[in-house]
C-alpha cells in the first residue's frame, strides 16, 4: 500500500517528518527510507533530506502493514453542521479519527464511509476528509472535508492559524497564573515512541490557557491552541504541573499530587473519569467555499 503526504511545513528532515506522520520510531522510518520505499517526484529520498512545503512524499508500506480498502463501520455520530463541502461533528471519546495499526476497521473514517458520507480524497492516503485530528479519548468538535476544494482551503487555513480551536479541560492542581501562554517545544519521546515530551530541539508549540473555575483540588480551564502538535495540550499541561484528570499517559503523579487528606476524593474523581477530561468545545473558521464565517 502506498501512502502519500503533502508537506505543509518546510525545513524539516525527512526521517523526523516521517516518524511523526506514521507514529513510528525514527529507526523504523529510517528502515523504510533505506529500503528506498520513500520517494518524491519519483526519486528515492535520503533520511537527511530537508522537505520543502508543497512536496508530495510517497511511502510504500509492506503489504502486511495495511489493508488496501477500508471497511465501513457503524456508530452513532452527532453532526453540528453539514453541507456539500464539509461537516462539523461532535466526536465521541474512544473513537480513533483515521485508520491505522489496530484500528483499520473502526475509525471515524470507517464510520463516515458506513454512513455514506462523501469525503475528500485527502492530502494523505488512508485519511480521506481528515483535515485535523483529535486524540482517541478526546471528545468534541471536528471538521471533515467532503470536497477536495474544501480540504485544500481548510488545510491552508489551519496552517496559517486562521482556524480557532478552543478546548475545555479539568486538570489536577491550580494554574499559578491565569491567563498563561505555555510555550515549550514538543518532540517525540526518545524511548516511548507513541508519547510526546517537552524537549530542546522539538517543534515550536504554544498553548493559551485560562481558569474558568477553581475547585478544591482541580481547575476547569479554557484552552486555545496557538499551534497544533500531537498531544500538545496534554503534554503542556503536564509540563506546568497541571495534568488532565483521567489522562493515563501524561499524569506525572495524577491524584498523588493532592494532599493525603484529599486522596480519597481525588481517587473517586479519577474513578469517574474513564478517559482524559478534555473536550474540543468550540471551532471557528471562514467557510472555505462560501467565505461565510
* pLDDT above 60 (res 241): yes
Percent of the chain's residues with pLDDT above 70: 88
Whether 72 is covered by a domain: the verdict is no
CA separation for the pair 127, 129 (Å, rounded): 6
Question: Do 109 and 152 fall within a single domain?
Answer: yes
Question: Do 23 and 91 fall within a single domain?
Answer: no
Which of 117, 136, 160 corresponds to the end of one domain?
160
Whether 83 is covered by a domain: the verdict is yes
Whether 103 is covered by a domain: the verdict is yes
Q: What is the CATH number of the domain that holds 90?
A: 3.30.2350.10
* pLDDT above 70 (res 14): yes
- Greater pLDDT, 133 or 102: 133
Question: Do 61 and 126 fall within a single domain?
Answer: no
Q: What is the CATH number of the domain that holds 11?
A: 3.10.290.10
* pLDDT above 70 (res 23): no
pTM: 0.75
* pLDDT above 80 (res 174): yes
Give the tens place of pLDDT for each residue, 119-146. 998 766 668 899 999 999 999 999 999 9
Which of 137, 160, 183 corresponds to the end of one domain?
160
Question: Do 116 and 219 fall within a single domain?
Answer: no
What's the total number of domains in the chain?
A: 3
* pLDDT above 60 (res 196): yes
Whether 246 is covered by a domain: the verdict is yes
The pLDDT of residue 6: 76
Residues 6+ apart with CB under 8 A from 69: none
Active-site option among 135, 137, 219, 247: 135
Whether 175 is covered by a domain: the verdict is yes
Which of 129, 160, 191 corresponds to the end of one domain?
160
Q: What is the largest CA-CA distance in the chain?
A: 64
The pLDDT of residue 9: 66
Decide: 134 and 89 in contact? Cβ < 8 Å: no
- Average of per-residue pLDDT across 61-66: 56
List of E strands, the chain? 2-6, 12-13, 38-40, 43-44, 50-51, 56-60, 78-82, 86-91, 139-145, 164-172, 180-183, 186-188, 196-198, 206-214, 218-225, 278-284
Question: Do 85 and 31 fall within a single domain?
Answer: no
Active site (annotated) includes residue 85: no
Predicted confidence band at 103 (pLDDT cuts at 50, 70, 90)? confident
Whether 106 is covered by a domain: the verdict is yes
Predicted confidence band at 64 (pLDDT cuts at 50, 70, 90)? very low
Question: Do 155 and 230 fall within a single domain?
Answer: no
**Cell numbers 508543497: residue:** 54
- Greater pLDDT, 4 or 9: 4
Q: Is 167 exposed, middle or buried (0-12, 13-18, 19+ CB in 10 A)?
A: buried
**Cell numbers 482517541: residue:** 136
* pLDDT above 90 (res 147): yes
The single-letter DSSP state of residue 254 is G
| Residue 146 domain boundaries | 78-160
- Greater pLDDT, 146 or 52: 146
* pLDDT above 80 (res 254): no
CA separation for the pair 146, 132 (Å, rounded): 14
CA separation for the pair 185, 199 (Å, rounded): 6
Question: Do 186 and 232 fall within a single domain?
Answer: yes
* pLDDT above 80 (res 28): no
| Most confident among 63-72, 120-129, 195-204 (mean pLDDT) | 195-204
* pLDDT above 50 (res 88): yes
Predicted confidence band at 258 (pLDDT cuts at 50, 70, 90)? low
Whether 70 is covered by a domain: the verdict is no
Predicted confidence band at 67 (pLDDT cuts at 50, 70, 90)? very low
Q: What is the CA radius of gyration of the chain?
A: 20
Amino acid at each position: 500500500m502506498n501512502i502519500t503526504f503533502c508537506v505543509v511545513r518546510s525545513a524539516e528532515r525527512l526521517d523526523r517528518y516521517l516518524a511523526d506522520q506514521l507514529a513510528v520510531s525514527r529507526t523504523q522510518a529510517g528502515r523504510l527510507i533505506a529500503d528506498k520505499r520513500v520517494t518524491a517526484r519519483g526519486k528515492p529520498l535520503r533520511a537527511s533530506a530537508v522537505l520543502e512545503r508543497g512536496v508530495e512524499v510517497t511511502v510504500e508500506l509492506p503489504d502486511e502493514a495495511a489493508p488496501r480498502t477500508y471497511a465501513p463501520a457503524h456508530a452513532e455520530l452527532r453532526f453540528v453542521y453539514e453541507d456539500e463541502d464539509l461537516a462539523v461533528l461532535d466526536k465521541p471519546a474512544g473513537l480513533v479519527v483515521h485508520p491505522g495499526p489496530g484500528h483499520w476497521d473502526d475509525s471515524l473514517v470507517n464510520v463516515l464511509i458506513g454512513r455514506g458520507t462523501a469525503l475528500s480524497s485527502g492530502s494523505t492516503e488512508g485519511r480521506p476528509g481528515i483535515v485535523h485530528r483529535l486524540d482517541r479519548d478526546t471528545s468534541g468538535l471536528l471538521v471533515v472535508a467532503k470536497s477536495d476544494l474544501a480540504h485544500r482551503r481548510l488545510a491552508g487555513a489551519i496552517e496559517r492559524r486562521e482556524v480557532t480551536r478552543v478546548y475545555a479541560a479539568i486538570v489536577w492542581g491550580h494554574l499559578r497564573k491565569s491567563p498563561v501562554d505555555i510555550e515549550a517545544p514538543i518532540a517525540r519521546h526518545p524511548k516511548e515512541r507513541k508519547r510526546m515530551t517537552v524537549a530542546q530541539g522539538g517543534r515550536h508549540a504554544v498553548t493559551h490557557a485560562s481558569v474558568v473555575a477553581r475547585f478544591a483540588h482541580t481547575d476547569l480551564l479554557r484552552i486555545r491552541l496557538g499551534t497544533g502538535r500531537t498531544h500538545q495540550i496534554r503534554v503542556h499541561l503536564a509540563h506546568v504541573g497541571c495534568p488532565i484528570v483521567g489522562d493515563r499517559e501524561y499524569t506525572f503523579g495524577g491524584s498523588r499530587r493532592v494532599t493525603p487528606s484529599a486522596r480519597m476524593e481525588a481517587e473517586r474523581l479519577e474513578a469517574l473519569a474513564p478517559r482524559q477530561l478534555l473536550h474540543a468545545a468550540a471551532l471557528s473558521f471562514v467557510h472555505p467555499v462560501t467565505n461565510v464565517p
